[in-house]
Structure 1
């Protein structure tokens, strides 16, 4: 018996092992525009936020030209220049297929912009698997719950029938801000001790474990 009708996933660090590429692309972008290069841990800690929120956290206050310069340099690195692989995590494809077969609605709430999200959905062949998705340029940045509110409204699912699955404190806090159930995964940017601060139903170490919780 399904516990939740709708399962909402974060993308980077939850479904796709892309954090390494985000880190190296951001560091390369900083060098390209002659900005101080942020530490890897600092970059990891902004994964999940929109770039509009993330870049000032990493580089301090930015006027519009400086922001656009960094943004374009980062996108060039991430999409075209950085060779760091971005595979799906183990068990992701099989688990998503099983959830869909069991009749769950599936959705994505991500810090990626729509163009980036559409690109990775097409690359992974998941475009038809998810019933709805929201990118960072379509709502306020996590941990504001606007993305989740939009998904619930679009799919006509009551709050108590939805669960958020993510690897970062921003995912957990976003769901907590709306009173939505949440499940953490420990293979992304934040470890179990950080995720547990937001009282998730569980923090899992294998994607397949999700099948027993939802």
Structure 2
């Protein structure tokens, strides 16, 4: 049996295939408000950030009333109006269950608001698979490391016993700022060169590779027992 580790996952683009829905919802909201519609790549670059800094990065500082309307319309677009499917990645559930059987602790650090993550977990009936979570409206957003600090403190793991798994440069920068091992996945918003440039220690192309990678890191003592 491997030594228990705390494995913290990003959500969108890492466990859930929601990138296309986020992109199209953001573009539809911009069109509705008669703002310049951002490109697909521009929207992908903000995935992982909380919504307010994401809006500012894409559109600059909006007047207060327009900013509030953007927040409301985007939530309507994503939750009700946009019908783009958002399934878990095909090997996400089996990977999570395997890590649980190996006695690892699992958590989520996401740019979603708490209401959004709880809604998805309720729909998928998977909340009990995770030992903890932090959302963007509960603490400082990525790439600030506060989400990771809070989860490590709550679940009683050190940075040397913790891994962050994510698909964006924001995840990798957050991990490095917190002093935890950063593992990038290449099927989300950013490719391997960008992930490594942002501090990824390891990069995988499929989630099912993660348990074996963790076993290898433990054998090489790259993470603590």
Taking structure 1 as the reference length, the TM-score comes to 0.97
Matched, 1:38 2:38: yes
Matched, 1:107 2:107: yes
SS at match of 1:187: coil
SS at match of 1:68: helix
CA contact (8 A) 2:173 2:199 kept: no
SS at match of 1:213: helix
Partner of 1:68: 68
Instruction: Tell me by how many angstroms 1:39 deviates.
Output: 1.0
Instruction: Tell me by how many angstroms 1:198 deviates.
Output: 3.2
Partner of 2:223: none
Question: Cα RMSD between the aligned structures?
Answer: 1.1
CA offsets per residue over residues 141-193 of structure 1, 9 Å max, x none?
10000100010111111111010000000000000011110110000000000
The answer for unaligned runs of 5 or more in structure 1 is none
SS at match of 2:182: strand
Q: Distance in 2 between matches of 1:140 and 1:199?
A: 20
CA contact (8 A) 2:5 2:161 kept: yes
> Which stretch shows the higher mean deviation, 46-55 or 58-67?
58-67
Count of aligned pairs between the two proteins: 214
CA contact (8 A) 1:4 1:162 kept: no
Partner of 1:136: 136
Matched, 1:87 2:72: no
After the TM superposition, which segments of 4 or more aligned residues of structure 1 sit over 3 Å from their partners? none
SS at match of 2:128: coil
Q: Distance in 1 between matches of 2:146 and 2:32?
A: 34
Q: Distance in 1 between matches of 2:3 and 2:195?
A: 21
Taking structure 2 as the reference length, the TM-score comes to 0.92
SS at match of 2:129: coil
The answer for unaligned runs of 5 or more in structure 2 is 215-225
